[in-house]
Amino acid sequence: MGIAEVHQFAKSIIIEAGERIRHSFSEKWKIETKADANDLVTNIDRETEVFFIQKIKEFDPSYKILGEEGMGEKIDSLEGVVWIVDPIDGTMNFIRQHRNFAISVGIYMNGIGKLGYIYDVMRNQMYYAIEGKGAFMNDVPLKPLKPISLDKSIIGVNAVWVTPNKRIEHEPMIELIRKVRGTRSYGSASLEIASVASGRMDAYLSLRLSPWDIAGGAVIANEVGAIASNLVNKPINLLKQDGFIIANPSIHEEIIEHYIKLK
């Protein structure tokens, strides 16, 4: 595939999808005040995924599509060109806040991330990366991450992972929370990944994410020198749910080794 051409195409349909979402919002939200907000959102989510599938298949019918709403094919291998799409990441924010959600798209060739996109729809900010060519926000290059120590770091972690749970020991997480400068939780994995890639946070972790939450962000992370892995420091697997961490390289290993103990 011609990367430059695919990039222009991807960027244009993501922006168009964002416009459609903003439009659906302002139209439907007004008239359907009594409708169940969840149904409404599910519809916009699905319509957006169908929009992506149609456009992508028109562009090249050989491309495979893995989407959160499951309207694409069943994918059991990353052979060929695979688009991994989350039409709306941060559904609860979408419903309740009408902001702080994103479209996330990763384009992989034989399992290698070639292009990654996180589009903060309401801020109209498009983070993207082209493998080997750097990462950008609205076409301005993102800077390489500077080293930082853990005690000066801001990390994105939801409060629930600091309470007793089935997946990890919560006591080391409590130590982590106390060690760092501060924590944040925004309710959109892809926007938290974008924050780390942009240097606004130094790490983000979650105990359970799906391929579409991280596929776009992983390409962007790579281009700014952030490290993305699962919680035992193995490469992320885009065919299954798993734990996930993205961090400034100066603290990635320290967090995993000292603070994350899987059960």
Q: Which is nearer to a copy of itself, 174 or 232 (CB)?
A: 174
State how far the Cα of 87 lies from the Cα of 104, in Å rounded to an integer. Answer: 7
Query: CB of 204 within 8 A of CB of 227?
Result: no
Using rule CB under 8 A, residue 201 touches a copy of itself? yes
For residue 186, what are the contacts with CB-CB under 8 A and spacing of at least 6? 90, 93, 100, 156, 192, 195
User: Of the candidates 152, 151, 252, 145, which has an alpha carbon nearest to the alpha carbon of residue 199?
Assistant: 145
By residue count, the chain amounts to: 263
Interface characters, 223-242, with a copy of itself (x: CB under 8 A): --------------------
User: How are strands ordered across the β-sheet holding 227-229?
Assistant: 154-156, 203-209, 242-247, 227-229
User: Who contacts 222 (Cβ-Cβ below 8 Å, separation ≥6)?
Assistant: 113, 129, 131, 228
Q: With binding defined as CB under 8 A, does residue 48 bind a copy of itself?
A: no
Site for a copy of itself in 159-178 (CB under 8 A): 159-160, 162-164, 174, 177-178
Nearer to a copy of itself, 154 or 239 (CB): 154
Output 84 or 155, the one with its CB closest to a copy of itself. 155
CA distance 106 to 163: 32
Tell me how far, at minimum, the Cβ of 205 lies from a copy of itself, in Å.
Answer: 12
End-to-end Cα spacing for the chain: 43
Instruction: Closer to a copy of itself by CB, 23 or 96: give it.
Output: 96
Q: For a copy of itself, give the closer residue by CB, 134 or 187.
A: 187
90-119: contacts with a copy of itself (CB under 8 A): 92, 96-99
156 strand-pairing partners:
184, 204
- Strand 134-137 relative to strand 102-109, pairing: unpaired
Stretch that binds a copy of itself, among 3-11, 89-97, 132-140, 248-256 (CB under 8 A): 89-97
Binds a copy of itself (CB under 8 A): choice among 158, 179, 239, 249? 158
Which listed residue (48, 104, 190, 195) binds a copy of itself by CB under 8 A? Answer: 195
| CA–CA gap between residue 223 and residue 120 (Å, rounded) | 19
Give yes or no for residue 215 binding a copy of itself (CB under 8 A). no
Q: How far is the CB of 161 from a copy of itself (least distance, A)?
A: 8
CA angle 145, 151, 153 (to 5 degrees): 35
Could you tell me which stretch among 42-50, 77-85, 110-118, 157-165 binds a copy of itself (CB under 8 A)?
A: 157-165
CB-wise, 94 or 212, nearer to a copy of itself?
94
- Give the separation between CA 181 and CA 223, rounded to whole angstroms: 26
- Which of 24, 42, 149, 185 touches a copy of itself (CB under 8 A)? 185
What residues make contact with a copy of itself under the rule CB under 8 A? 92, 96-99, 154, 157-160, 162-164, 174, 177-178, 181-187, 195, 199-201
